[in-house]
Amino acid sequence: DGGITQSPKYLFRKEGQNVTLSCEQNLNHDAMYWYRQDPGQGLRLIYYSQIVNDFQKGDIAEGYSVSREKKESFPLTVTSAQKNPTAFYLCASSPWASGPYNEQFFGPGTRLTVL
Amino acid sequence: GQQLNQSPQSMFIQEGEDVSMNCTSSSIFNTWLWYKQEPGEGPVLLIALYKAGELTSNGRLTAQFGITRKDSFLNISASIPSDVGIYFCAGLDSGTYKYIFGTGTRLKVLA
């Protein structure tokens, strides 16, 4: 069953702690993305990666870090430097160089609450 | 970051009515995507458009890729209660390979 998995669905952390959100895809997609969504708001791009071992900052990268050591995995770390980390985090992937169709698919999301 | 202008922002309609929403951009896109998001879930891809003027249907949903490449439209016919959600458009910036999203249309269907 192909798709994007994010874990956990809900995550609680104390202020000042780093936390890593998992994202795995088995769609054989080259590109992966992280977005942040606040209540009643649209999607804001945090980081994206078009190929393994390479990634670019999005519009709101400050306080976040990522790695792309494997094609299927793109974990996001929310660091203590992120001022307002409580949000809904969405991971997505798209074919990019591996196909002519540029559909982007999303995972189910992780809701992070920092206490 | 850049966002697309999506309208209307919200709609309250009666079950059975048709719905229309649109998305406009100041930039040209070669790909337009339409998504539906329900509370607490990730957006689900509804329709993808790849060619100017293209008209594509998915059940009761029909989307069009504007001829100018700067806009796209989504229509829902004969709405039902499960159509409730937030609908997002997205255009692909083929230079940076970033997807630019609309601000969303919140749809509520009254039975």
pLDDT per residue as tens, chain A (115 positions): 669 999 999 999 999 999 999 999 999 999 999 999 998 888 999 999 999 999 999 999 999 999 999 999 999 999 998 889 999 999 999 987 555 678 999 999 999 999 8
A with B: how many residue pairs have Cβ under 8 Å apart? 61
Summarised one tens digit per residue, pLDDT across range A74-106 is 999 999 988 899 999 999 999 875 556 789 999
Average pLDDT on B48-72 reads: 95
Write out residues 46-75 of A within 8 Å (CB-CB) of B. Answer: 48, 50, 56, 58-60
With beta carbons less than 8 A apart as the criterion, state whether B93 and B52 touch: no
User: What token pair was written down for A36?
Assistant: 């942040």
Interval B76-87 mean pLDDT = 97
- pLDDT over 90 (residue B3): no
Determine the distance in angstroms separating the CA of A75 from the nearest CA of chain B, rounded to an integer. 17
Best B30, B41, B99 residue to mutate vs chain A (most A CBs within 10 Å): B99
pLDDT at B76: 98
Question: Mean per-residue pLDDT for B47-68?
Answer: 96
> Averaged over B31-42, what is the pLDDT?
95
Inform me whether the pLDDT recorded for B30 exceeds 60: yes
What was the pLDDT predicted at B111? Answer: 84
DSSP labels, chain A: ---EEEE-SEEEE-TT--EEEEEEE-S--SEEEEEEE-TT--EEEEEEEEETTEEEE-TT-TTEEE--SBTTB--EEE-TT-S---EEEEEEEE-GGG-S----EE---EEEEE-
